[in-house]
Structure 1
Amino acid sequence: MGIRLVTGGVRSGKSRFAESLCMDAGNVTYIATGTAEDEEMRARIEIHRQRRPAHWNVVEEPFDLAQAIGQIPPEHQVLLDSVTTWVSYGLSVFGEKEWSRRVERETESWLKSLEQRETVIVTDEIGLGGVAMHPVSRAFQDTLGWVNQKIAGQANEVWLVIAGIPWRVKK
């Protein structure tokens, strides 16, 4: 049992790599946090759908990850893609101040529900760029950075994917 965190930049190949880590599992439940609110996001989601094996279960849940995880049979491996869109969704729904009060509690809740599961979590590495100029963008950077650190601290493995090449950072 354990958590494997896969991080990297946008379009780095992290989702494809995370999916490859789950290919040998008999039962996989894929938790998709992205929502198809515009044509470009619909296209991105469709690429992910086409790439996934047809026998994988899919749960689309943009926010209540603990509840979604609680509904998954214990023998299923969990693939959570992605923490980035979860943080973004929380900011857009609750606003910066309310989300900053909720995010720690929410993160700890769903991470706790993954302790006894084989899990792969996908997120974007936010710490390689400069500090954003807009307050909402800085709130996003700060929040995702904190959440990523929390997950990485509990993860058994951490992978960084750069240009489609996975590098193991923590084992």
Structure 2
Amino acid sequence: MRSVRLSHQRSERDVFPPLGTVPGPCGPRKKTDVSSKLIFVLGGARSGKSSFALQLGKAISPRAFVATGEPFDQEMAGRIRKHQRSRGRGWVTIEVSTKIADWLTKKGAAYPSIVVDCLTLWLNNLLRAKVRPSQVSSYVRALIRAVRACSGQVIVVSNELGLGLVPGDAGSRSFRDVAGRMNQLVAAEADEVYFLVSGLPLRLK
């Protein structure tokens, strides 16, 4: 995927406060949230994470697939078409580039099973829309709040970018770091967390 280069000189700690120091919705779940379920699925490229998320989500209807990918070029458009074919029937596809929390708040109640794929592209879209890295954590918390307001399960997919080679330029390294902290915030709040390797799921939480 094409990532946005970040030219800022702020450290990763500046971008996201240390976990456990963030007040508000990322604290312990309230009893009123018991009807919602956040499932977080992580993996590298072609790890099988999207297929696994679809398997988890397809047992319940009606179900929605929230797609965050945008066809910036022909290669990306081809990837999107391939994912659309692989979902098959029974999924209502919603294309949301940045405002996932808004859609969940307004429309999420109609779908007891929702797959959001994926957060890494969502992050890329936010940065392309001139959201500052220091603001990303507030978007993540808003997303978590919206998930907790849903009455069913929300399965969120994201890329694990921290296991490969260190990126060769500062912008790509910054994007990797912001994505890693984003994933940590979501994983801390999730009811279940899965890591996919070669199509095999490992439950972490």
Per the alignment, residue 147 of structure 1 pairs with 182
Per the alignment, residue 158 of structure 2 pairs with 123
Q: Which runs of 5+ in 1 are unaligned?
A: none
Tell whether 2:122 aligns with 1:86: yes
Per the alignment, residue 133 of structure 1 pairs with 168
1:41-60 to 2 correspondences below 5 Å = 41-60=76-95
How far does residue 75 in structure 1 lie from its aligned partner after superposition? Answer: 4.3
**Could you list the per-position Cα deviations for residues 102-129 of structure 1 after superposition, in whole angstroms to 9, with x for gaps in the alignment?**
2011111111100143110000012212
Report the secondary structure of 2:90's partner residue. coil
Counterpart selection for 1:71 from 71, 82, 106: 106
Q: Is the 8 A contact 1:82 1:122 kept in 2?
A: yes
Counterpart selection for 1:32 from 67, 89, 98: 67
Per the alignment, residue 105 of structure 1 pairs with 138
**Could you list the per-position Cα deviations for residues 70-122 of structure 1 after superposition, in whole angstroms to 9, with x for gaps in the alignment?**
2324141221000010111222331xxx4212201111111110014311000
Q: Which amino acid aligns with 1:110?
A: L
Q: Which amino acid aligns with 1:91?
A: L
The count of corresponding residues between Structure 1 and Structure 2 is 167
Report the secondary structure of 2:107's partner residue. coil
RMSD (Å), alpha carbons: 1.4
Report the secondary structure of 2:196's partner residue. strand
Q: Which 10-residue stretch deviates more, 58-67 or 131-140? A: 131-140
**Could you list the per-position Cα deviations for residues 121-162 of structure 1 after superposition, in whole angstroms to 9, with x for gaps in the alignment?**
000012212432312112211111011000000001111111
Q: Is the 8 A contact 1:160 1:167 kept in 2?
A: yes
Tell whether 2:198 aligns with 1:159: no
Q: Which amino acid aligns with 1:19?
A: L
In structure 2, distance between residues paired with 1:101 and 1:167: 31
**Larger-gyration structure (1/2):** 2
Per the alignment, residue 4 of structure 1 pairs with 39
Q: Which amino acid aligns with 1:89?
A: N
State the TM-score, normalizing by the size of structure 2.
0.77
In structure 2, distance between residues paired with 1:72 and 1:53: 22
Report the secondary structure of 2:203's partner residue. strand
- Deviation above 6 Å: which 4+ runs of structure 1? none
Report the secondary structure of 2:94's partner residue. strand
- Could you tell me the percent identity over the aligned residues? 30
Q: Which runs of 5+ in 2 are unaligned?
A: 1-35
